Amino acid sequence: MDGASPTAHTLLSDIFGFDAFRPMQQEIVDAVSAGEDVLAILPTGGGKSLCYQLPALLRPGLTVVISPLIALMRDQVRALREVGVEAGALTSANTEEETDAVYSGLSEGRLKILYMAPERLASGGTERLLAQSGVTLLAVDEAHCVSQWGHDFRPDYLRIGALRRALDVPLAAFTATADSETRDEIVTRLFGGQAPKTFLGGFDRPNIRLAFAAKLKPREQILSFASARKEQSGIVYCGTRAKTETLAKALSDTGLSACAYHAGMEPDARRDVERRFQSEDGLIVVATVAFGMGIDKPDIRWVAHADLPKSIEAYYQEIGRAGRDGAPAETLTLYGADDIRFRRMQIDESLAPAERRMADHGRLNALLGLAEALKCRRQTLLEYFEEAREPCGNCDLCAQPPDTFDATEAVMKALSAMLRTGESFGVGHLTDILVGTCTEKVKARGHDRLPTFGVGQDTDRRHWSAIFRQMMGHDLVRPDAERHGALRMTHAALPILKGDASITFRRDTLASAPRRNAPRALVSEEDAPLLSALKAKRRELAEAQRAPAYVIFPDRTLIEMAETRPDTLDEMAKINGVGAKKLERYGSTFLAVITGDTPVQEHPARRKLAGRASGDVYDRLLAAQARLARGEDGTGKPMSCSAALLAKIAALGPNATDQIDRLLGDRLADRFGPTFAQILSEA
Close Cβ partners of 91 (under 8 Å, ≥ 6 residues apart): 70, 73, 74, 115, 116, 117, 120
Helices 643-650 and 613-627 cross at an angle (nearest 10°) of: 130
Q: What is the CA radius of gyration of the chain?
A: 29
Q: Residue 635 CB, nearest distance to ligand ADP (Å)?
A: 31
Listed in sequence order, the residues at least 6 apart from 448 whose beta carbon sits closer than 8 Å to its beta carbon are 436, 438, 442
Under the binding rule (CB under 5 A), the answer on residue 398 touching Zn ion is: yes
Partner touching 42 among ligand ADP, Zn ion, none, CB below 5 to 8 Å by kind: ligand ADP
Q: Which CB sits closer to Zn ion, 401 or 514? A: 401
- The string over 366-386, giving b where at least 16 C-beta atoms fall within 10 Å of a residue's C-beta and e elsewhere, is bbbbbbbbeebbbbbbbbbee
Please tell me whether residue 196 binds ligand ADP under the rule CB under 6 A: no
**Residue 325 binds ligand ADP, judged by CB under 6 A:** yes
Q: How far apart are CA 540 and CA 598, in angstroms?
A: 14
Compute the least distance from the CB of residue 79 to ligand ADP, in Å: 8
Query: Which of these segments, 46-54, 125-133, 381-389, 663-671, binds ligand ADP (CB under 6 A)?
Result: 46-54
- 561 contributes a contact to ligand ADP by CB under 6 A: no
Long-range CB contacts (< 8 A, 24+ apart) of 351-360?
360/310, 360/311
- Reference 174, options 382, 323, 298, 31; nearest CA is 31
Contact 39, 180 (CB under 8 A): no
Q: What is the sign of the dihedral through the CA atoms of 393, 399, 405 and 411?
A: negative
662 within 8 A of 668, measured Cβ to Cβ = no
Q: Which is nearer to Zn ion, 397 or 417 (CB)?
A: 397
Stretch near ligand ADP under the rule CB under 6 A, chosen from 40-48, 84-92, 98-106, 607-615: 40-48
Exactly one of 173, 395, 410, 647 binds Zn ion (CB under 5 A); that residue is 395
Binding of residue 680 to Zn ion (CB under 5 A):
no
Provide the pairing of β-strand 234-237 with 302-305: parallel
Cα separation, 8 vs 541, whole angstroms: 30
Among 30, 31, 49, 210, binds ligand ADP (CB under 6 A): 49
370 binds Zn ion (CB under 5 A): no
**Mask: binding to ligand ADP, 568-607, rule CB under 6 A, as x and -?**
--------x-------------------------------
Closer residue to Zn ion (CB): 392 or 418: 392
Q: How far is the CB of 8 from ligand ADP (least distance, A)?
A: 11
**AA identity, residue 427:** V
- Asked if residue 273 binds ligand ADP (CB under 6 A), the reply is no
DSSP string, 367-429: HHHHHT-SS-HHHHHHHHTT------SSBHHHHSPPPEEE-HHHHHHHHHHHHHTTT---HHH
Give the E-state strand segments of 128-278 in sequence order: 135-140, 171-175, 197-200, 208-209, 212-214, 234-237, 258-261
- Closest to ligand ADP by CB, 15 vs 562, is 15
CB 190 within 8 A of CB 160: yes
42 binds ligand ADP (CB under 6 A): yes
Q: Whole-number minimum distance, CB 621 to Zn ion, in Å?
A: 40
For ligand ADP (CB under 6 A), the number of binding residues is 18
Count interface residues toward Zn ion (CB under 5 A).
5
CB 39 within 8 A of CB 187: yes
**Among 118, 239, 323, 326, which residue interacts with ligand ADP (rule: CB under 6 A)?**
326
Distance CA(111)–CA(129), nearest Å, equals 13
- Residue 77: which H helix or E strand, with range? helix 70-82
Q: Which of 8, 11, 21, 286 binds ligand ADP (CB under 6 A)?
A: 21
Position 68 contacts ligand ADP (CB under 6 A): no
List the one residue from 392, 542, 622, 646 that touches Zn ion (CB under 5 A).
392
Interacting stretch for Zn ion, rule CB under 5 A, among 396-404, 426-434, 476-484, 568-576?
Answer: 396-404
Binding partner of residue 398 among ligand ADP, Zn ion, none, CB under 5 to 8 Å per kind? Zn ion
- Of positions 324, 361, 469, 582, contacts ligand ADP by CB under 6 A: 324
For Zn ion, the binding residues (CB under 5 A) are: 376, 378, 392, 395, 398
For ligand ADP, the binding residues (CB under 6 A) are: 18, 21-22, 25, 42, 44-50, 298, 324-326, 554, 576
